[in-house]
């Protein structure tokens, strides 16, 4: 088709050409087979959803979900194929129309939230899946020491101090007494346990991820077959094919669903997945992107050792769980209810800091080290990084935006609050997520966004613009400028 012409009009003409090419392809190409089967979730997982996600009826092989299952005549099939084509053309046309208002300067900046611009990606639904085993922080010391057969008084005293300083109250965990009874080698120092750990993790992330996805699909209210792309993020599994394929099959996604996996990005993974989904949604008219993040600490679970002091920090801070989100541009007003518009995203790493967050896989699982200077390193760059995002809309004061920060730990949140001179309530939802779930790696930013949605709906957040931030190995900064939607 050639290169698109420059400027707004050129981009609109380019989108119109894409729509014409789509029509030509649809008239000559068969419709893809769409699968609708959902697998039930284990009782050990508790998907969080406002309404159940009802299974879609299976369609005969080769039929689109908009077609009936009673083998219609060729005339009827051609008519319904035309309906499908019209629907897809309308979705592409809506993107073309939104280009007039969505391209060029972001604009905005004042008080009050926007209705959003059509061409920008939007957050349409959220969901989460949690293990059944709840671990109150006040019981962590006894549970961990009993599970690892440790009776060292110094270890007990240190773990008790850590449990108080993390500010965590509740976490959810895959690891249990029953699992350790089945695999006693997991609590034996120096034992090669990578294979059983991966077996546990690979199964757990599928169960948790599927539960979170079903919750998000139930809130979204549209069939799973309408998902066009899947972005899967995890630092807890290692296999070929990956969890993205098994989740697509388990959820009944179309075989034509385009899958992307982001692995071992640690705590910045959730924000990286949002950035990836935003790019996909805005560059594929009519697409709907399902993001799934699933994590478990089983790979890093081991008995305490003086040679690995960080193990106790992990025991006091990290939890397990999964989250899911659905993202798309040009939402259908009668069917979709977006609450956040994803305006601009960026990523940056700090040279020379690759050892500050360090993890290596061995025969005993993953050995994880976290530098004590991590909060200091983040503080050294955070102001300039945030200004890159805020400058897009001309905002100068850090208290003039709302904040959704991945809570890696209380020290990081405290440093941000002091360095940027934030009002005490600015990081309230991040602290709340840390308190109720712990640090669940890539998932936690989605738990923060769930609390953000609640605050936006209640009207307690008055700012129009906000920032999503997360920090991971590298040290890598992930940031996104977002806008609340009425």
Q: SS3 string of 221-244? A: CCCHHHCCEEEEEECCCCCCCCHH
**pLDDT tens digits for 179-235?**
999 999 998 888 899 999 999 999 999 999 999 999 999 999 999 999 999 999 999
**pLDDT tens digits for 82-128?**
444 444 444 444 444 443 333 333 444 443 454 555 689 999 999 99
Compute the half-sphere exposure of residue 454: CA atoms within 13 Å on the CB side of its CA.
10
Decide if 385 is inside a domain.
yes
Decide if 159 is inside a domain.
yes
Phi-psi region of 49 (alpha: psi -120 to 50; beta: other; left: phi over 0): beta
| Cross-strand partners of 134 | 172
Q: Are 315 and 159 in contact (CB under 8 A)?
A: yes
Tell me the helix, strand and coil percentages in the chain, rounded to 5: 45, 20, 35
Domain span at 453 = 121-484
CA distances from 387 to 245, 401, 420, 471 (A): 38, 12, 11, 16
| pLDDT for residue 153 is more than 50 | yes
Q: What residue spans of 251-297 are helical by DSSP H?
A: 269-283
Tokens of 406: 């991945």
pTM of the predicted model as reported, rounded to 2 decimal places: 0.77
Decide if 48 is inside a domain.
no
Q: Are 460 and 370 in contact (CB under 8 A)?
A: no
Compute the half-sphere exposure of residue 141: CA atoms within 13 Å on the CB side of its CA.
15
Q: Are 211 and 45 in contact (CB under 8 A)?
A: yes
Which has more confidence, 406 or 119? 406
**pLDDT tens digits for 50-61?**
444 444 444 343
CATH of residue 306's domain is 3.40.47.10
Decide if 276 is inside a domain.
yes
Q: Are 471 and 267 in contact (CB under 8 A)?
A: yes
Decide if 13 is inside a domain.
no
Decide if 469 is inside a domain.
yes
Chain-centre distance for alpha carbon 436: 18
Which among 133, 163, 243 is positioned nearest to 410, based on CA atoms?
163
Cα dihedral sign for 419, 274, 444, 200?
negative
| pLDDT for residue 74 is more than 60 | no
Beta strands in 109-266 (DSSP E): 121-131, 134-136, 170-172, 229-234, 258-263
Decide if 84 is inside a domain.
no
Query: Could you give the residue numbers annotated as active site?
Result: 267
Number of domains in the chain: 1
Nearest-angstrom CA–CA distance, 294 and 407: 17
Core vs surface per residue 107-134: b (16+ CB within 10 A) or e: ebeeeebeebbbbbbbbbbbbbbbbebe
Q: Are 364 and 333 in contact (CB under 8 A)?
A: no
At residue 118, the pLDDT reads 60
Decide if 58 is inside a domain.
no
């Amino acid at each position: 088709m050639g290169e698109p012409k420059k400027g707004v009009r050129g981009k609109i003409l380019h989108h119109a050409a894409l729509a014409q090419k789509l029509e030509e392809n649809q008239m000559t190409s068969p419709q893809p087979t769409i699968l609708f089967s959902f697998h039930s979730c284990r009782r050990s997982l508790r998907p969080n959803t406002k309404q159940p996600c009802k299974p879609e009826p299976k369609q005969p092989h080769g039929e689109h979900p908009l077609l009936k299952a009673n083998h219609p005549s060729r005339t009827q099939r051609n008519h319904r194929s035309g309906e499908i084509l019209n629907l897809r053309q309308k979705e592409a046309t809506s993107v073309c129309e939104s280009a007039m208002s969505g391209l060029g300067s972001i604009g905005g900046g004042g008080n009050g939230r926007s209705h959003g611009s059509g061409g920008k990606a939007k957050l349409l639904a959220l969901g989460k899946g949690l293990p059944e085993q709840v671990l109150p922080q006040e019981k962590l010391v006894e549970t961990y020491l009993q599970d690892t057969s440790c009776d060292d008084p110094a270890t007990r005293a240190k773990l008790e101090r850590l449990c108080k300083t993390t500010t965590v109250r509740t976490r959810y965990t895959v690891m249990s007494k029953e699992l350790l009874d089945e695999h006693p080698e997991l609590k034996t120092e120096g034992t090669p346990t990578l294979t059983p750990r991966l077996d546990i993790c690979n199964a757990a992330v599928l169960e948790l991820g599927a539960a979170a996805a079903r919750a998000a699909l139930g809130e979204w209210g549209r069939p799973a077959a309408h998902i066009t792309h899947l972005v899967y993020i995890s630092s807890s599994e290692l296999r070929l094919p990956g969890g993205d394929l098994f989740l697509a099959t388990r959820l009944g996604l179309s075989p034509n669903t385009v899958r992307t996996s982001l692995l071992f990005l640690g705590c910045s993974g959730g924000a990286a997945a949002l950035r990836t989904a935003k790019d996909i949604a805005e560059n594929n008219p009519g697409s709907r992107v399902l993001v799934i993040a699933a994590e478990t600490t089983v790979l890093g679970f081991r008995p305490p050792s003086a040679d690995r002091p960080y193990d106790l920090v992990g025991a006091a801070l990290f939890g397990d769980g999964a989250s899911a989100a659905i993202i798309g541009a040009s939402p259908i007003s009668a069917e979709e209810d977006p609450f956040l518009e994803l305006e601009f995203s960026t990523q940056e790493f700090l040279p020379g800091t690759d050892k500050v967050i360090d993890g290596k896989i061995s025969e005993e699982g993953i050995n994880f080290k976290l530098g004590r200077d991590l909060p200091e390193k983040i503080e050294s760059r955070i102001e300039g990084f945030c200004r890159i995002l805020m400058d897009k809309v001309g905002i100068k004061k850090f208290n003039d935006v709302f904040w959704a920060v991945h809570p890696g730990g209380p020290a990081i949140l405290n440093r941000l609050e002091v360095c940027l001179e934030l009002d005490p309530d600015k990081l309230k939802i991040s602290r709340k997520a840390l308190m109720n779930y712990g640090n669940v790696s890539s998932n936690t930013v989605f738990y923060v966004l769930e609390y953000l949605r609640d605050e936006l709906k209640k009207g307690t957040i008055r700012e129009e613009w906000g920032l999503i931030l997360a920090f991971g190995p590298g040290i890598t900064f992930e940031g996104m400028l977002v806008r609340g939607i009425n």
